[in-house]
């Protein structure tokens, strides 16, 4: 991230942000509501263009990555599910797009602790259940970089403890180079 600025009309969402996320560690990105965390992630993923400055992943812009889907896994807070589709169907669609076998769907459902309700329609799932399915989606391509926007949202205390362990484990794996997550500052220990 180099001197990244993003303006939406009169609103400056991100102002001159420079930082680097080191390989092999979990980088927490803290700030109160409206601080610009989600905006920064959307710029990193090339979903919106910066007003000035740049965001690079391993030295390249997202659009310049040779295999973006296999390099970066992301969970953004507004990513949705088709209400009539099951979590497993949702994952199968993404698996097909990324060229991953159905067996990988089973694996990531398991990794995310979502197997028990993978065959229920999304409309009936709780916030925490959806959160786990989104995490499973981000893990599909076994990406080197994982970007998670408020990954603990909706998780119960046991779920938060579980997520902490999983993220630490993923960051420790040789395969995952960078893990970047956004957390809303709450005054307490967000992690």
Which distant-in-sequence residues (6+ apart) come within 8 Å of 10 by Cβ? none
**With CB under 5 A, what is the number of residues at the site for Mg ion?**
2
Using CB under 6 A, which of the segments 31-39, 97-105, 106-114, 115-123 binds ligand ATP?
31-39
Reduce the secondary structure of the chain to three states and give it as a string.
CEEEEEEECCEEEEEEECCCCCCCEEEEEEECCCCCHHHHHHHHCCCCCCCEEECCECCECHHHCCCHHHHEEEECCCCCCCCCCEHHHHHHHHHHHHCCCHHHHHHHHHHCCCHHHCCCEHHHCCHHHHHHHHHHHHHCCCCCEEEEECCCCCCCHHHHHHHHHHHHHHHHCCCCCEEEEEEECCCCCCC
Output the smallest distance, CB 131 to ligand ATP, in A.
Answer: 14
Of residues 31-50, those binding Mg ion (CB under 5 A): 37-38
Among Mg ion, ligand ATP, none, the one that 34 touches (CB under a kind-dependent 5 to 8 A) is ligand ATP
Our finding on whether 31 is near ligand ATP (CB under 6 A) is yes
- Restricting to residues 87-116, which ones interact with ligand ATP according to CB under 6 A? none
Residue from the set 33, 78, 103, 189 that interacts with ligand ATP by CB under 6 A: 33
CB of 116 to ligand ATP, least distance (A): 29
Answer for which of 16, 34, 99, 101 binds ligand ATP (CB under 6 A) is: 34
37 or 88: whose CB is closer to Mg ion?
Answer: 37
Longest dimension (CA), the chain: 48
Of residues 4-23, those binding ligand ATP (CB under 6 A):
8, 11, 13
User: What residues make contact with Mg ion under the rule CB under 5 A?
Assistant: 37-38
User: What residues make contact with ligand ATP under the rule CB under 6 A?
Assistant: 8, 11, 13, 31, 33-39, 184
């Amino acid at each position: 991230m180099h001197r990244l600025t993003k303006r939406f009309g009169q609103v400056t969402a991100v102002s001159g942000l420079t930082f680097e996320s080191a390989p092999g560690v979990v980088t927490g990105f803290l700030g109160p509501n409206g601080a610009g965390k989600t905006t920064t992630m959307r710029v990193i993923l090339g979903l919106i263009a910066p007003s000035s400055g740049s965001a690079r992943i391993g030295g390249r812009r997202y659009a310049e990555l040779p295999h973006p889907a296999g390099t970066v896994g992301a969970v953004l807070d507004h990513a949705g599910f088709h209400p009539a589709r099951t979590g497993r169907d949702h994952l199968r669609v993404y698996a097909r797009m990324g060229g991953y076998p159905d067996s990988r769907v089973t694996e990531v459902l398991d990794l995310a602790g979502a197997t028990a309700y993978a065959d229920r329609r999304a409309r009936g799932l709780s916030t925490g259940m959806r959160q786990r399915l989104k995490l499973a989606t981000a893990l599909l391509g076994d990406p080197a970089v994982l970007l998670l926007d408020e990954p603990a949202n909706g998780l119960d205390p046991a779920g938060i403890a579980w997520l902490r362990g999983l993220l630490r484990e993923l960051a420790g794996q040789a395969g995952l180079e960078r893990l970047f997550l956004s957390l809303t500052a709450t005054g307490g220990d967000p992690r």
